[in-house]
């Protein structure tokens, strides 16, 4: 069964350092999402791609976060510089398309700890 792949699974970094996460969606899924989930809260959408284009990045802290999906397949989320408050689970999800309701399939997530 196809799955969303993410790496690394765990990352510990010091504040002010740069960190990057990678996501490979299910083959054929045009829409890719990055979420941040702080312990005890629901996932918060950071950025949504349709193919290689950003559809929604209204909740992305653009002063330190960036995301790209250059060829419309895999994607990278970067934080520079990392802050203590960035400690969270970063989830990537994909779905078939943008139009109409549809379930998202989540990757295993990257647990980030900033010290």
| Site of interaction with other proteins (CB under 8 A) | 33, 35, 40-45, 48, 56, 58, 91, 93, 100-109
Rank residues 70 and 99 by Cβ distance to other proteins and give the closer one: 99
Least separation in angstroms between residue 80's CB and other proteins is 25
Handedness of CA 104, 71, 64, 79 (dihedral sign): positive
Contacts 24+ apart (CB under 8 A), 49-54: 49/75, 50/98
Rank residues 57 and 74 by Cβ distance to other proteins and give the closer one: 57
Least separation in angstroms between residue 75's CB and other proteins is 16
Rank residues 28 and 42 by Cβ distance to other proteins and give the closer one: 42
Least separation in angstroms between residue 41's CB and other proteins is 5
Which tokens belong to 52? 């290689």
Spatial contact of 92 and 34, defined as CB atoms under 8 Å apart: yes
Spatial contact of 79 and 15, defined as CB atoms under 8 Å apart: no
């Amino acid at each position: 069964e196809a799955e969303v792949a993410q790496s690394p699974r765990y990352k510990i970094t010091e504040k002010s350092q740069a960190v990057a996460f990678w996501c490979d969606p299910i083959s054929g899924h045009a829409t890719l999402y990055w979420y941040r989930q702080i312990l005890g809260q629901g996932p918060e959408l950071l950025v949504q791609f349709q193919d290689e284009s950003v559809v929604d990045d209204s909740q992305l802290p653009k002063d330190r976060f960036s995301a790209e999906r250059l060829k419309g397949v895999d994607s990278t989320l970067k934080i520079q510089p990392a802050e203590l408050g960035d400690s969270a689970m970063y989830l990537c999800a994909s779905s078939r398309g943008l139009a109409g309701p549809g379930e998202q399939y989540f990757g295993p997530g990257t647990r980030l700890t900033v010290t």
